Amino acid sequence: MITPIETPWEPDIWRSELQQAIRTSAQLLQYVKVQSDFASDSEPFAVRVPRGFADRMVPGDANDPLLRQVLATTHEQIDTPGFVRDPLEENSTDNLIHPAPGLLHKYHGRALLITTGACAINCRYCFRRHFPYAEHQQSRHEKALVAIQGDDSIEEIILSGGDPLLLDDRALERLVVSLEKITHLQRLRIHTRIPVVLPTRITQALVELLAASRLDVVVVIHSNHAQELDAATARSLAALHNAGIHLLNQAVLLKEVNDNLPAQIALAKALFSQRVLPYYLHLPDRVAGTAHFFVNKQEALTLHRSMQANLPGYLVAKLVREQAGERSKTIVSI
């Protein structure tokens, strides 16, 4: 086993930071010294921004790419045709897709387990902002684990949410140990924004828990802009990398956030410098309340071709979109 490096954070610092997170648009604007005529707090998807993430915003810049991702605005209240609450049909009643509460089995060989509805940060483009988490909560995921045990075609479990790393260490350990007992499982993938938005959560105990697993562990982070990555994220990602954990990034292509070549080049290079390989660049899902972030297919393809011309292949994320009913991500092409 590769010996993890020690992280510089005490075990409970992240809890304190989470409790002190910014909870309203007005508070966020005041914190970053910005005035906006479009800010709103009437929308039911609450604002939540850790102060460490807000500290990476440029004070006084209303167009800051990090601010645009997390500030609730009146644009979210516009009813745009074609933008719906469940564009990926994740709340389908199809038992093949939902063999148990909290378990989504859409793709061959792997299944996704909804661990929690909580996130450390509420991104305004979130494709699960309307997801009925209460309907998929199950104490210790008993039924989901039984369903996974009974299907030996499943080799990989993806922990998602919400953010699975908001589970405390004991709850996460119970879940990982239960998954390790299922002999046909080979890989554990964790989809998380935590190493980027709340890096102090990557404690020594958490790293050791993941490093000790018999499963091959892959952590897929979510960063959309190079400005999100700083010395603190570098420490959290180095701790995971040095523990032998594979690190990938999936980003979402967002209008006036990262829909330009300089932003994509900077993100790819910043990720690689912090030991993360670009994996997916998603076209945004057509989620109700998010139309102002949408980038169309042709614009995305033009940008992606420019990325291919200006970056080595291993730094070019696959341009994809997810479509309801499809058995894999769809590569975006002409």
- Reported as a single tens digit per residue, the pLDDT across 182-194 is 999 999 999 999 9
60 pLDDT more than 80? yes
The number of CA neighbours under 13 Å toward the Cβ of 199 is: 21
212 pLDDT more than 80? yes
* pLDDT 10s digits, 243-264: 999 999 999 999 999 999 999 9
Highest mean pLDDT pick, 98-107, 127-136, 278-287? 278-287
Count of other CB atoms within 10 angstroms of residue 30: 12
Q: If you count them, how many residues does the chain have?
A: 334
What is the pTM assigned to this prediction?
0.92
User: How large is the average pLDDT for residues 161-181?
Assistant: 95
pLDDT value, residue 122: 95
- SS3 at position 39: strand
127 pLDDT more than 80? no
User: How large is the average pLDDT for residues 24-53?
Assistant: 91
Helices (H) and strands (E) in the chain, counts: 11, 9
Confidence of residue 92 (pLDDT cuts 50, 70, 90): low
The single-letter code of the amino acid at 292 is: H
**Cα dist. 156→81, 108, 130, 191 in Å?**
36, 10, 26, 13
Beta strands in 27-155 (DSSP E): 103-107, 110-114
- SS3 at position 64: coil
228 pLDDT more than 50? yes
* pLDDT 10s digits, 132-168: 555 545 555 889 999 999 999 999 999 998 999 999 9
φ and ψ at residue 217, rounded to 5 degrees = -100, 130
pLDDT value, residue 1: 47
The backbone region for 30, taken as left when phi is positive above 0, alpha when psi lies in -120 to 50, beta otherwise, is alpha
Q: Compute the mean pLDDT over every residue in the chain, rounded to the nearest whole number.
A: 90
Peptide bond just before 162 cis, omega within 30 deg: yes
pLDDT value, residue 78: 84
Confirm if 233 and 226 have CB atoms less than 8 A apart: no
Confidence of residue 42 (pLDDT cuts 50, 70, 90): low
CA–CA dist 279, 224 (Å, integer): 12
CA–CA dist 235, 189 (Å, integer): 20
Which of the two residues, 180 and 1, has the higher pLDDT score?
180
The number of CA neighbours under 13 Å toward the Cβ of 18 is: 19
Confidence of residue 81 (pLDDT cuts 50, 70, 90): confident
Kindly give the residue spans of alpha helices, DSSP state H, lying in the chain: 13-19, 25-31, 51-54, 65-70, 142-149, 169-180, 194-197, 204-211, 231-242, 261-273, 297-310
Name the residue with tokens 């954070």. 9
User: How large is the average pLDDT for residues 201-223?
Assistant: 97
- SS3 at position 73: strand
Confirm if 71 and 47 have CB atoms less than 8 A apart: yes
Tell me the helix, strand and coil percentages in the chain, rounded to 5. 35, 15, 50
329 pLDDT more than 80? no
* pLDDT 10s digits, 2-17: 455 567 788 889 999 9
Greatest CA separation for the chain:
56
Q: Which domains does the chain have, with CATH numbers?
A: 13-331 (3.20.20.70)
Which run of H or of E encompasses 279?
A: strand 277-282
178 pLDDT more than 90? yes
Strand order of the sheet with strand 156-160?
103-107, 110-114, 156-160, 187-192, 216-221, 246-252, 277-282, 318-321, 330-331
The backbone region for 109, taken as left when phi is positive above 0, alpha when psi lies in -120 to 50, beta otherwise, is left
User: How large is the average pLDDT for residues 86-115?
Assistant: 78
53 pLDDT more than 70? yes
Which run of H or of E encompasses 210?
A: helix 204-211
pLDDT value, residue 40: 86
83 pLDDT more than 70? yes
